[in-house]
Amino acid sequence: MTTGPKIEAIETAELLGDPHPLLEQLGPADGLATFDAAPAALQFTRVRDLPSLQSFLRVYQNEILLPLEWPAILHAHAHAARFELRELVALDGRLAGEPALRDFAVASCRVGQRQLSKLRPLRDERFIQRYLKAIADGDARGWHTLVYGISLAVYSLPLRQGLLSYAQHTLGGFIENAAGPLRLTEAGVEELHAEVCAGLPAAMERLLVPAGGPTLGIV
The CATH number that applies at residue 52 is 1.10.4190.10
User: In the predicted model, what is the mean pLDDT of residues 150-172?
Assistant: 91
pLDDT of amino acid 184: 92
> Which of 38, 46, 54 is closest to 191 using CA atoms?
54
Q: What is the 3-state secondary structure (H, E, C) of the chain?
A: CCCHHHHHHHHHHHHHCCCCCCHHHHCCCCCCCCCCCCCHHHCCCCCCCHHHHHHHHHHHHHHHHHHHHHHHHHHHHHHHHCCCHHHHHHHHHHHHCCHHHHHHHHHHHHHHHHHHHCCCCCCCCHHHHHHHHHHHCCCCCCCHHHHHHHHHHHCCCCHHHHHHHHHHHHHHHHHHHHHHHHCCCHHHHHHHHHHHHCCHHHHHHHHHCCCCCCCCCCC
In a domain, 190, yes or no: yes
Supply the range of the domain harboring residue 107.
4-17+36-206
Determine, yes or no, domain membership for 216: no
pLDDT for the residue numbered 50: 93
Is 22 among the domain residues? Answer: no
The confidence score (pLDDT) of residue 116 equals: 87
Residue 26: inside a domain = no
In a domain, 211, yes or no: no
Q: Are the C-beta atoms of 71 and 215 separated by less than 8 Å?
A: no
* Domain count across the chain: 1
The pTM (predicted TM-score) of the whole model is 0.81
| C-beta of residue 168 within 8 angstroms of C-beta of residue 200 | yes
pLDDT band at residue 148, thresholds of 50, 70 and 90?
Answer: very high
**Is residue 154 domain-resident?**
yes
Does residue 217 sit within a domain? no
Residue 215 to residues 60, 73, 209: CA-CA distances in angstroms?
A: 21, 15, 10
Mean pLDDT of 133-138: 96
pLDDT in tens, 188-210: 999 999 999 999 999 999 998 86
pLDDT of residue 26: 53
Residue 153 included in any domain: yes
